[in-house]
Chains A and B, each alone.
Chain A
Amino acid sequence: MAGRTVSAKSQRLILAGLALVAIVGAGLVAIPALEGTATYFYAPSDLAANPPEPGARIRLGGLVKDGSVVREDEGLTLAFTVTDGARETRVRYTGIVPDLFREGQGVVATGRIGPDGGFVADHLLAKHDETYMPPEVAKSLGRTGMMHQTGSLAE
């Protein structure tokens, strides 16, 4: 029986070792994948101060500037200006515009900086309901002191 006990104990050790290998292996796969695919958040001021690598997919957030929204390309493309109070970036987006997108409200656009220096978005996230704003936008506006300008941000 003694031999059996030792074997059961070593089997337990092997299992614990395998579990460790699985978790560490997952981490080793995950971290490089994260580095390669994570999209960083930028406010227009960040773009100017610390531009992303050319062609990198990023998220750009801020408020849609009043009076800046125009349609191009027979209505398929939307062009507008994102502002954080200090700097502005022009954004072009082709697709269905989200329900809550409107001038003066928060928006997060995902895409890349185009060759002309404008931002080409493939995805837009607007506020999810009337009292909610994307937290990153609220934070970046807080930095530039623009928070007080929109009433809904008081939430």
Chain B
Amino acid sequence: MIPSPAELGHLSLWLAAAAALVMAAAPVRPALVGLARPAAVAHGLLLLCAYAAMTHAFLVSDFSVSLVATNSHTAKPLLYRLTGVWANHEGSMLLWVLILGVAGLAVALARMPLGETFRARTLGSLGVVALGFLAFLLFASNPFARLDPAPPEGMGLNPLLQDPGLAFHPPTLYVGYVGLVVAFALAVAALLDGKVGPAWARATRPWVTLAWAFLTMGIALGSWWAYYELGWGGWWFWDPVENAALMPWLAATALLHSIRVLETRDALRNWTLMLAIAGFTFSMLGTFIVRSGLLTSVHAFAVDPTRGLFLLVLLLGLTGWALLVWALRAPKVAEGARFAMTSREGVLVVNNLLLMALLAIVFIGTLYPMALEAWNGRQISVGPPYFNATTVPLIVLLAVLMGVGPFLAWKRGTTSGLSRRLLLPGLVATASAGAMLALFGVSGLLALLGVAASAWLAVASLQLLLRRGLTFGRAGTALAHLGVAVSILGATASGALQREALVSIPLGDGFALSGFTVTLDDVAPRAGPNWTALEATLSVTRDGAPVATLRPQSRTYTSPPMETTEAGIAMWRAGDLYAVLGKPDGSGRWQVHFWVKPLIHFIWWGAVLMALGAVVALGGALRLGALARRRRALPAPPAAVPLPAE
């Protein structure tokens, strides 16, 4: 009898665990070092097989696989059958190890200027992490568990997850997490070798840049999804699940900057290694927070306590091991080069300290409720009032420094010419804040500071972009910094200039809000492939001229049965008109919540610019490495590690 693809997938998973064990063991004895590469290749290919088998089960709706029966349905569109593989607990963990496996494959096959022992040690750390996650999959969340007899039809996918924004949010985030795991594995190998310097930084920086770009996009996708799909009108809720992704991003941002110092100036050695370990720890913590279900959250997923415990043990084991390696080996790393505090390194150190402070604030706010409940049983929730009051001043300060840093020289403490360069950003910043105050009557101090900081950083970044002798690296920095400025402007303006109205009106009636007139023309039933809905037609005019027609829905899905709110959104200039329809209450009146959100798109455009900046910098790092190789005909190993084809 031929075993079914699902059985082969299950077998592949076990064989991948065996390969991971070989990877983890190979660096221990010199005789075994040669096994690391073949084991990593086998590990990556086996995980590809396992993932392909699961995808096959979803595509053909093989309901004998429990996961498919619980999360899929024959009527589900093809795209969501593909993405449905990871839109559930077991499948998303399978995707996590798959990406880790592909990263291992890339490390095994890429050029490794730091030597085969170093490569084996890197793969060894990846093997340890993979082993932990494969054990979790096989013993506590087996995605290939079977049902006998197979049910005739599946239960369907949570309709909130049937959405392109969310479909691609987890894989993007996971590539970011795994990129940080690779940076961590490279850091452990460097600690064991004791060779931490520019060559190591050159090999590691592409991974960090890649991880950062994907984390940025992953967080932005999640925020965008929450904005248009949840229908709450907000774009960031300081929810523990959001913070779980934000913390690794903050650590990765600090690492991205300190590794640049290490590469160029051979300074901040131990600090950079510590950040690589912190990035890994927060990636693990992020996975734990999302997957353990310990937190009250808009999307707390797994609620099985044994899984939570297994993940907690895994988290503590892996991070404990990471910190132990660091504590034992870090004192042996020699001091790096010195520098003046008004040099570029100096400002990057301050940048790192601010990012660490932000990370600590987010960490305390996210974990404090859990700790308090464990301590005395009191249940509290920490929300936007805490996070906004504590993080916004630090972000403004960071933005101000980001405008200055790229103009400073490495090593030297000279600041001549700086005031001339910063004159224009300063003038534009003052003028923008003044315009907000005078034209729009915005008087909140933080809002004015936000606009000023954004204008300051935008002008300084544009100046950087327009300076002579533009390199890939500098263009990347300028674009990413410009992206931060754009995002800050979007966040500040959409908050400070937002207007909203909540009304209960009969058909044909309307209301006015900040220059707009909104009329409820109709409420009618609509039907989609797997849902029915009540759809309102709201026509919006401004000064008598039609601006947009909004069609918010109150939707009911059939499999599984579930009601959702679909916001009616229309772009207006760089912002949105956003409407939500309430449930019918039988009185003939309809509740409508209507918002005007100026410039809100800037938040996500800024994130796209940041990721684009990272890609430009990455391209620069890789191409310059290739050029140097060709010119010098390989006297010394200059190159960067080529990246996996993502």
Contacts and interface: CB of A to CB of B under 8 A. Distances in A.
Nearest to A18: B353
B484 to A, nearest CB: 20
B338 A76 contact: no
Interface residues of B, number: 57
Interface string A46-62: 00000000000001000
A38 B158 CA distance: 31
B563 interface: yes
Contacts of B160: 129
A134 B296 contact: yes
A5 B335 contact: yes
B298 A128 contact: yes
Contacts of B356: 19, 22-23, 26
B580 interface: yes
Interface in B119-160: 158, 160
A25 B353 CA distance: 11
Contacts of B382: 34, 37-39
Contacts of A74: 504, 587, 589
A65 to B, nearest CB: 18
A31 B361 CA distance: 9
Contact of B504 (A40, A75, A125): A75
A87 interface: no
Interface string B584-604: 010101010100000000000
Contacts of B349: 15, 18
A109 B168 CA distance: 32
A8 interface: yes
Interface in A90-143: 94-100, 108, 110, 125, 128-130, 132, 134-136, 139
Contact of A12 (B231, B296, B335, B360): B335
Contacts of B299: 128
Contact of B300 (A96, A98, A135): A135
Interface in B283-306: 296, 298-300, 303
A57 to B, nearest CB: 8
A11 interface: yes
B210 to A, nearest CB: 26
A34 B504 contact: no
Interface centre among B268, B361, B565 (most CB of A within 10 A): B361
A14 to B, nearest CB: 9
Contacts of A9: 335
Contacts of B338: 4, 7-8, 11
A7 to B, nearest CB: 6
Contacts of B539: none
A8 B335 contact: yes
A73 B364 CA distance: 41
A98 B160 CA distance: 14
A12 B270 CA distance: 9
Given A8-B336, A11-B338, A99 B381 contact: no
B326 to A, nearest CB: 13
Contacts of B565: 96, 98-99
B360 A23 contact: yes
6 tightest A-B CB contacts, nearest first:
A41-B379, A26-B360, A26-B357, A8-B335, A37-B385, A22-B353
12 contacts: A8-B335, A23-B357, A26-B357, A26-B364, A33-B389, A37-B383, A40-B380, A71-B587, A75-B585, A75-B587, A99-B563, A99-B564
Given A19-B356, A29-B361, A129-B560, 13 more contacts: A4-B338, A8-B338, A9-B335, A19-B271, A30-B365, A38-B381, A39-B382, A71-B585, A94-B502, A96-B502, A97-B583, A128-B299, A155-B303
Interface of B: 158, 160, 231, 268, 270-271, 296, 298-300, 303, 335-339, 349, 353-354, 356-358, 360-361, 364-365, 368-369, 378-383, 385-386, 389-390, 502-504, 554, 560-565, 580-583, 585, 587, 589, 591, 593
